[in-house]
Chain A
Amino acid sequence: MSDGLRLSAKTRAEIERLTTVYPVRRSALLPGLRLAQREIGWLPREAMDEVAEIVGVDPNACYALATFYDLFYREPVGKYVIGVCEGLACHLGGSGRVLGWLKERLGIGPGETTADGLFTVRTFECLAACDRAPCALVNDEYVGPLDEARLDELLRELRSHPNWSRVSGVGGRGSGASIPDPQYPTPDPRHSTTDTRHPAPGEGRS
């Protein structure tokens, strides 16, 4: 029985498989934690202990990673995590305004979750999408450049499409693709991160 803190048999099997994919078993630890968070939405201690047990390391090894990396959540987060980029380019582009609008609309600041459990607001350091400043990572999706209208549209979309992006936090298996797997997700062209403002060949080149 799942209590929402433990891994399903399917995820356990996937992590088990990962331990045989890499040259050294322990390399499955980070991808294993990603899988655990993909399933549960955050990393409860129970799940980390399970990952450690499957990989065959001390649970401390899992806590050491979970406390280091930015994308691991050690507390429950909202269904949608709105991560506003606070890098210098986004700061110059108005990331402060974006956080202000979010506070007005959702009543929460960075690190907080709405009472209905729908939204968590957080900040990121540079997301490597500075040409789309100010940008944000909403679960796994890059959005930007954000202005007030686009932010409202985004919030409306998130509220009205319950499965906009089901995965909370870290998506992806990050697994060794050395064993071809027919279940690779097809990239959705609608979510291309490439900004339409990229110049056509020749344009902008003097």
Chain B
Amino acid sequence: MPFEPIITGNVGVPNAWEIDVYESRGGYRALAKALREHQPEELVDLVSKSGLRGRGGAGFPAGRKWSLIPKGAPEVYMVCNADESEPGSFSNHELLDWDPHSLIEGVIIGSYAIRARVAFIYMRGEFWKPTGQRMEAAIAQAYARGYLGRDILGTGYNLDLHLFIGAGAYVCGEETALLESIEGNRPMPRPRPPYFPPSIGLYGKPTAVNNVETLANVPHIVLNGAEWYTRLGNPPRNPGTKVFSLSGLIKRPGNYEAPLGITLRELLFGYGGGMLDGRTFKAVTPGGTSTPLLTAEHLDVRMDYDSLPAVGTYLGSTGLIVMDDTVCIPCAVYHMSKFYQHESCGKCTPCREGTSWINAILYRITHGQGREEDMPLLLDLSDNMGGRKTVCALGDFAGFPVTSSIKYFRQEYEYHIRYGRCPTSCQPAEERQWTISQP
């Protein structure tokens, strides 16, 4: 099927981040149409009808999220989550580098749909050169052209847009932690109930928090209609496209926009060019390391919000880190566990303690000191961190790579525990001293 990229259409276009280039390619036409021809409620309906689902990972219908904002609330906020920190995901990063205006346009339309007067783009702290700089410049350009500020395009609608830059914390990608961060507090997630952002969000006011890619889709839906969108991808429940980030041991790492519902095989071996020469595929993180692994037996699974849960994993933020037959799975999972141990915010005991325990146990397994009881202990710990025992899902995330790798690669753990070394020669000892430190 011939495939026209939708949201990455401007990636690679020289100076795509300049407003003149963006406008010359049809930019801000959707904004004019939305503000002049539609009432806010009509836009919420339009996005609901399109079936667009939140691209941050959970796949919550974007239109429904907007419709949860109480009508007539005096103070409402729109927040764009650009804190892309999931290991393996780098699609927002590239999109923001090249096409900041498409996000700004989406943010303005979304803000209008929920009648917000102030919007924020929350970008992770590491994205400054050139990502943050380009976004700042793009916002200034949008103000200068009358797309932001007072009386936008003469319609009487006012909107202020702030770029808010974080300072390095994975947990800020969690929507309530992100709001805490903007409020100047330690970014620890809030319990839900009662702190559902559409009811009690930023500064205690109703707030819509949407992912970059979700909002970047909105102008295209406004221009082409909901009907058009529902025919893309894997309708009816998974319409549209997704930007998949391929990395790890694969021939052509990079971002690829593809229809939702594409098979894992086509993604890895078509778009990604397949494995490195002489290697065979072993495992992949379908949605960043925070999703259970997939293996060679899953190559024909369709990548969308409903097909992946059927095989026990999630689409997440579509960061596919590819591991081939040279990779020792316990060592790779040890690396993932370091991340969660470092990024757990410490609010909930199961996650704060559990991530450290898992890290320490994986350390001893991968260092020739594994014990017979370690595998049941890892499974027990993962079980005690997951399943809504913590305020946010970080505890679940930390357990996913552990439980799924034990499910599919139990023999590698057994080998490590029995013989005290890797079943594959995954890493030379002289490197190991730098990458593996005593927890």
Contact = CB atoms under 8 A, between A and B. Distances in A.
Interface stretch (A5-13, A112-120, A154-162, A171-179): A171-179
Nearest to A101: B434
A70 interface: yes
Interface residues of A, number: 81
A21 interface: yes
B319 A130 contact: yes
Contacts of B280: none
A87 B165 contact: no
Given A86-B338, A88-B88, A206-B270, A185 B133 contact: yes
A184 B129 contact: no
Q: For chain B, which range describes its interface: under 10, 10 to 19, 20 to 34, or 35 or more residues?
A: 35 or more
A85 B323 CA distance: 18
B184 A30 contact: yes
Given A29-B184, A127-B126, A204 B165 contact: no
B438 interface: no
Interface stretch (B241-249, B296-304, B361-369): B241-249
Given A92-B332, A131-B247, A176-B163, A70 B169 contact: yes
Contact of A129 (B90, B125, B203, B249): B90
B53 to A, nearest CB: 22
Interface string B124-153: 111111111110110110011000110000
B183 A24 contact: yes
A45 interface: no
A124 B126 CA distance: 10
29 contacts: A26-B184, A27-B183, A30-B181, A34-B165, A65-B186, A68-B187, A70-B168, A71-B125, A92-B327, A99-B435, A100-B434, A124-B126, A125-B338, A126-B86, A130-B245, A130-B248, A130-B253, A171-B128, A176-B160, A177-B140, A177-B162, A178-B160, A187-B133, A188-B129, A191-B130, A194-B12, A205-B256, A205-B258, A206-B271
A77 interface: no
B362 to A, nearest CB: 13
Interface in B409-439: 427, 430-432, 434-435
B87 A137 contact: no
A171 B129 contact: yes
Nearest to A188: B130
A45 B224 CA distance: 54
B266 interface: yes
A130 B140 contact: no
Interface of A: 21-24, 26-31, 33-34, 55, 57, 61, 64-65, 68-72, 86-89, 91-97, 99-100, 103, 109-110, 124-131, 133, 137, 140-142, 165, 170-178, 180-181, 184-188, 191-195, 197-201, 204-206
Interface string B312-339: 0000000101010001000010011011
B160 A69 contact: no
Nearest to A67: B186
A184 B253 contact: no
A22 B336 CA distance: 37
B368 to A, nearest CB: 18
A22 B123 CA distance: 16
Nearest to B90: A128
B181 A88 contact: no
Interface in B78-131: 84-90, 92-94, 97-98, 118, 123-131
B17 interface: yes
Contact of A205 (B3, B140, B186): B3
Interface of B: 3, 5, 11-12, 17, 84-90, 92-94, 97-98, 118, 123-134, 136-137, 139-140, 143-144, 148-149, 160-170, 181-187, 203, 245-249, 252-256, 258, 266, 270-273, 285, 289, 319, 321, 323, 327, 332, 335-336, 338-339, 342-343, 345, 427, 430-432, 434-435
Looking at chain A's contact residues, the main secondary structure is loop
Nearest to B331: A91
B117 to A, nearest CB: 9
A136 to B, nearest CB: 11
A165 B129 CA distance: 11
A195 B254 CA distance: 9
A99 B430 CA distance: 11
Contact of A30 (B93, B127, B166, B249): B166
Given A87-B88, A129-B90, A130-B253, A187 B167 contact: no
Given A23-B118, A125-B339, A198 B94 contact: yes
